[in-house]
Amino acid sequence: MSDIRKSLRPSRIIYPILIGLGAASWMLYRSFDPEAFTFFNWTSASFFWMAIALLMMGVRDLAYMYRIKVLTDGELSWKQAFEVIMLWEFSSAISPSVVGGTGPAIFVLYKEGINSGKSTAVILTAIFLDEVFFILLVPVMYLLFGNQIFPPDGVDFAAGVKLALFFGYGVILLYTLILTYTLFFNPYFFKWLLSFVFLLPFLRRFRMRVRKLANQLIITSHALKGKSFAYWAKAFLATILSWTGRYWVVNFMFMAFFFSHLNLLDHLLIYARQLTMWIILLVSPTPGGSGIAEFIFSDFLGDLIPNLAWAVPLALLWRLITYYPYLFIGAFLIPGWLKRVFPAETKYKVVK
């Protein structure tokens, strides 16, 4: 518990901010172009489309809040749902993407009065729905655009990135299929599989950790039995809406500054490229993908921007809308939230 509380320290926001701004500064220095900021032509239309871009983040968060209420069977109020989502996003933003914020999210739900077994089930189900969305949508976009969903061939390391994306999708697909079988058909299969695999000498030291994960999946499987079609329909619809809100931020940003250069297919392609970008960000070793996100933005979306020199400022603007707010909202919420969920401990410290 103390480790999780340490992971939610507001002071940890400084590291991803420094990494992200450092990466962007280096990119600007490496390929400085006086044309880089010329696209910032603030007209009434620009303000309108940027307002819509900000609204998309609101849609994303509201959809996540609604989903967490559905998954907890309505046990959370809207205020609690807001705090859970914001603290989950904060923990994800300050943790390496490959680690994520799953542990702190379970802890936050538990401290909001959801029992430990159900807290585990809710968070793992939310992650499962995110994976299913990705698994289903990538093939649809590939059928529409083919290899265009990958970075253009002229981009450095394009072939390597494409191979990594295929491999990453395959790993996520395999993981999701095993998870589906475990959650809905045989909850003890995953525990048996992990116990067998982690008998290997070089993996044995991780055995207790993965057994804990397997036990969490068994708890989740039992919790999901008997859930209605409406439960799954509402939760998955909220998942689609939340991811679409996140991705459409870029579309509306582009409309704000070069509306006439994009048609409907371009907008769908921007959406598709962000799906493949997500695979790279998912395995980022930096907090919240800081530095990596800014770097790959121009690789994945540069050919859809009229002037490639605009890519770095646009990447910064994108991160200012979709990433940095969660750092500051989380840092603002945490002190009050800790005081509320640990009242006796807080009181003791004050008296002492």
Give the integer Cα–Cα distance in Å for 65 and 86.
9
Instruction: Report the range of poorest mean pLDDT among 19-33, 65-79, 293-307.
Output: 19-33
Decide which of 25 and 169 is more confident.
169
Output phi, psi for 287, to 5 deg: -60, 120
pLDDT at 135 over 80: yes
Helix (H, G, I), strand (E, B), or coil: what is residue 96? strand
Instruction: Report the range of poorest mean pLDDT among 108-117, 192-201, 269-278.
Output: 192-201
Task: Kindly state the average pLDDT of the residues 267-283.
Answer: 87
Distances (CA, A) of 56 to 53, 199, 247, 322: 5, 46, 8, 10
Could you tell me the residue ranges of all domains in the chain? 2-351
Identify the pLDDT of residue 155.
62
| Cβ density class 213-231: b for 16+ within 10 Å, e for less | bbebbbbbbebbeeeeeee
In the chain, count of helices (H) and strands (E)?
15, 0
Give the integer Cα–Cα distance in Å for 111 and 305.
45
Please name the residue that has the structure tokens 């490639």.
308
Confirm if 278 and 269 have CB atoms less than 8 A apart: no
Longest dimension (CA), the chain: 65
> Which range has the top average pLDDT, 8-12, 90-94, 114-118, 140-144?
140-144
Using one digit for the tens of pLDDT, what is the confidence trace for 88-124?
988 888 777 656 667 788 888 988 888 877 888 888 8
Identify the pLDDT of residue 349.
46
Identify the pLDDT of residue 9.
62
Output phi, psi for 226, to 5 deg: 85, 5
| Cβ density class 264-282: b for 16+ within 10 Å, e for less | eeebebbbbbbbbbbbbbe
Give the integer Cα–Cα distance in Å for 19 and 123.
28
pTM for this one?
A: 0.84
Question: Any idea what DSSP says for residue 146?
Answer: G
Confidence of residue 257 (pLDDT cuts 50, 70, 90): confident
Task: Kindly state the average pLDDT of the residues 324-351.
Answer: 74
Helix (H, G, I), strand (E, B), or coil: what is residue 287? strand
Instruction: Report the range of poorest mean pLDDT among 40-44, 269-273, 328-332.
Output: 40-44
Identify the pLDDT of residue 277.
86
pLDDT at 145 over 70: yes
Distances (CA, A) of 160 to 152, 156, 189, 291: 12, 9, 34, 19
pLDDT at 295 over 90: no
